[in-house]
Amino acid sequence: MADSLTLEIADFVHMVHTGIYSEETGKPQPLRFTIQVTMKPIAHYTADTPLDASKNYMDLKFAASEALPDGVHFKLIEAVADHVCDTLFAQDERVEAVTVKIVKLALSVEQELIGITLTRDRR
């Protein structure tokens, strides 16, 4: 089994223009993101290993916020997840796989979690 490194940001909420129902269109709605990036680790990490030996966690947050295009309405959250994957693959060639879980908070009536999980491997 090969070594792997998974970086994660969990339960990050960001407002995104998405949805197909009339009550969802025309305004952003809160989405909860959990993003995992898998990459091959270096042989060994020490106390003074520099950041560039891994990936900055803030890149994951950026992909689900500032990297989403302004003024674009995503009909499906699957398209939002795809955009996040594309952004992370473009940022760093060491990224081998990305998993994006999105929960649509506005649809929750009784605390249920309604959403998707998309996993993409580098093509």
Backbone angles phi, psi at 99, to 5 degrees: -120, 130
Q: Give me the pLDDT at residue 106, please.
A: 85
Q: Give me the pLDDT at residue 24, please.
A: 77
The amino acid that residue 82 corresponds to is D
Let me know: does 67 contact 53? Beta carbons within 8 Å.
no
Instruction: Report all structural domains of the chain as residue ranges with CATH numbers, in order of start.
Output: 5-121 (3.30.1130.10)
Q: Give me the pLDDT at residue 1, please.
A: 75
Let me know: does 54 contact 68? Beta carbons within 8 Å.
no
Q: Which of 93, 87, 47, 43 is nearest to 69 (CA)?
A: 87
> What sections of the chain are H helices per DSSP?
58-63, 77-91
Task: Quick: pLDDT tens for 75-94.
Answer: 999 999 999 999 999 999 99
Q: Give me the pLDDT at residue 66, please.
A: 95
The pTM for the full model equals 0.92
Q: Give me the pLDDT at residue 3, please.
A: 92
Q: Tokens standing for 111?
A: 């605390």
From first to last of the 123 residues of the chain, give the pLDDT tens digit: 789 999 999 999 999 999 888 777 888 999 999 999 999 999 999 999 999 999 999 999 999 999 999 889 999 999 999 999 999 999 999 999 999 999 999 877 787 889 999 999 998
Q: Give me the pLDDT at residue 112, please.
A: 85
Provide the 10 A C-beta neighbour count for residue 97: 17
